[in-house]
């Protein structure tokens, strides 16, 4: 038994941790493009919350992260764009590589990382003091990006988020005047304005009604034509509908860990782990 050195890729014999399947099936080239998590651990203080997760998120795919509450899914995706570090006692181990580059390397600026790896949160949260247009452009202002044509960005992003037709006549209305689903699409448009390569979504539909949820799911599929999307969800049907790959997290009271990752179809129809089978059939969780 050999302990792993930093930077070494973990290929695991244990079929339960099925990184190999995913990697081999969809990214044969060694020079991997996209986001890759290697042996990620996370702590809050002394509390070990996430243990040894390795996953790849190739470009132009949607990956769903499923699992019961408290299994570390949210912690995991917050680690992917360096939001984890805002909790004072937080610590981590492992690597997150974007196009082969470690985003936790000392010379890397966290804000630049977050610019390229966007995030959408559980509750729709347009900036209250801004109108729709300003909301979409807020990222550009925040990151001090120099962009000439603001109007086309607003139109482009709102179109990609599937909101343009509904709001094009009232871009000066406040974000709060929209419905919950519209607000969430506005938040997606806001994230798109800074042109991320990866979009992380932390249960983006859990505060929405079924109709709005479907609209968002369509949006997600369209987004995946250009970028990688990672979506945490409690809703297994949603994971089945929207994702190309799926990863199942679990906890036995200790730190959360990755049970299985596979193309969504396989994970839902023919999982290799019995716990996955139980979970996707709704026997627990």
Partner 1 sequence: MDGVAKTEIIPVPRELAVVYNRADRIFRRIVTSGALTSLILLGLIGMFLFVKSAQIFNDRGISFITGSNWTAGSGDGVIIDDFSIGPMLTGTILVAVIALIIAMPLAIGGALYLEFYAPFRIRKILNALLDLAAAIPSLIFGLWGLAVFTSFGERWSVLLNSRFGWIPFIKVQNEVFGRSPFIAGCVLASLIVPIITSVTREVFSRTPRDLIDTCYALGGSRWGAIRTVVLPFGRSGIIGGAMLGLGRALGETVAVYLLLNIVFRYNFRILESEGGNIASLIATKFGEATEYELKALVAAGFVLFILTLAVNMLAATIVQKSTVRK
Partner 2 sequence: MSAVVIETNTAVPVPTTPWKQTRRKQIVSASTVALSALIAVVIVLITGFAGVDGWAFTFLIVSLLVTAVRALKADAKVRKEMFVTVAIFATAALAFTPWMSIFASVVMKGARGFRPNFFVGDMRTTIPDDELNLGGAGHAIVGSLMMVLNATIITLPLGILSGVYLTEVRGRLTFLVRFVVQSMSGVPSIVAGLFIYTTFVNYTNSFSGLAGSFALAILMLPTVARTAEEVLKLVPDDLRSASYALGARQWRTSLMVVLPTVRSGLTTAAILGVARVIGETAPLLLTSLSSNSFVFNPLGGPVGSLPTYVFGLLQIGTENSTNRAWTGALVLMLLVLALFTTARFIGGKDRR
- Residues of this chain that bind partner 2 (CB under 8 A): 1-4, 8, 10-14, 17, 20, 39, 41, 43, 48, 51-52, 82, 85, 90-94, 104-106, 109-111, 143-144, 257
DSSP for 167-226, written as a single string: HTT-TTSBGGGS-HHHHHHHHHHHHHTT--SEEEEESTTTTS-HHHHHHHHHHHHHHTTT
How far apart are alpha carbons 13 and 169 in whole angstroms? 57
Tell me which residue has tokens 């899914």. Answer: 73
25 binds, options partner 2, partner 1, none, Cβ within 5 to 8 A by partner type: none
Candidates 14, 30, 88, 169: give the one binding partner 1 (CB under 8 A): 88
Looking at the Cβ atoms of 54 and 243, the one nearer to partner 2 is 54
If one asks whether residue 138 binds partner 1 (CB under 8 A), the answer comes out as: yes
Q: Nearest distance from residue 272's CB to partner 1, in Å?
A: 34
The H or E element spanning position 118 is strand 117-120
Residue from 121, 251, 272, 285 binding partner 1 (CB under 8 A): 121
Among 33, 48, 123, 221, binds partner 1 (CB under 8 A): 123
Nearer to partner 1, 88 or 282 (CB): 88
Rule CB under 8 A: say whether 86 interacts with partner 1.
yes
276 binds partner 1 (CB under 8 A): no
- What does the buried/exposed string (b/e) look like for 6-33 if buried means 16 or more CB atoms within 10 Å of the residue's CB? eeeeeeeeeeebbbebbbeeebeeeebe
């Amino acid at each position: 038994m050999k302990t792993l050195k930093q930077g070494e890729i973990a290929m695991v014999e244990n079929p339960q941790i099925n990184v190999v399947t995913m990697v081999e099936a969809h990214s044969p080239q060694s020079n991997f493009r996209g986001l890759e998590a290697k042996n990620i651990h996370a702590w809050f203080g002394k509390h070990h919350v996430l243990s040894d997760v390795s996953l790849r998120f190739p470009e132009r795919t949607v990956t769903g992260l499923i699992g019961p509450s408290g299994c570390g899914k949210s912690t995991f995706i917050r680690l992917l764009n360096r939001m984890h570090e805002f909790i004072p006692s937080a610590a981590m181990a492992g690597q997150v590589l974007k196009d082969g580059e470690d985003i936790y390397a000392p010379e890397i600026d966290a804000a630049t990382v977050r610019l390229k790896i966007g995030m959408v949160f559980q509750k729709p949260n347009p900036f209250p003091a801004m109108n729709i247009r300003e909301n979409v452009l807020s990222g550009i202002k925040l990151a001090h990006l120099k962009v000439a044509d603001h109007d086309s960005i607003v139109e482009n992003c709102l179109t990609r988020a599937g909101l343009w037709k509904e709001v094009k006549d009232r871009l000066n209305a406040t974000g709060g005047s929209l419905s919950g689903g519209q607000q969430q699409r506005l938040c997606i448009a806001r994230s798109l304005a800074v042109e991320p390569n990866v979009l992380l979504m932390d249960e983006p539909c859990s505060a929405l009604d079924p109709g709005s949820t479907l609209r968002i799911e369509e949006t997600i599929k369209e987004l995946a034509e250009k970028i990688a999307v990672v979506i945490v969800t409690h809703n297994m049907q949603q994971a089945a509908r929207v994702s190309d790959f799926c990863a199942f997290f679990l906890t036995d009271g200790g730190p959360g860990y990755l049970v299985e990752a596979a193309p969504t179809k396989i994970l839902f129809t023919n999982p290799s782990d019995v716990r996955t089978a139980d979970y996707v059939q709704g026997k627990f969780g």
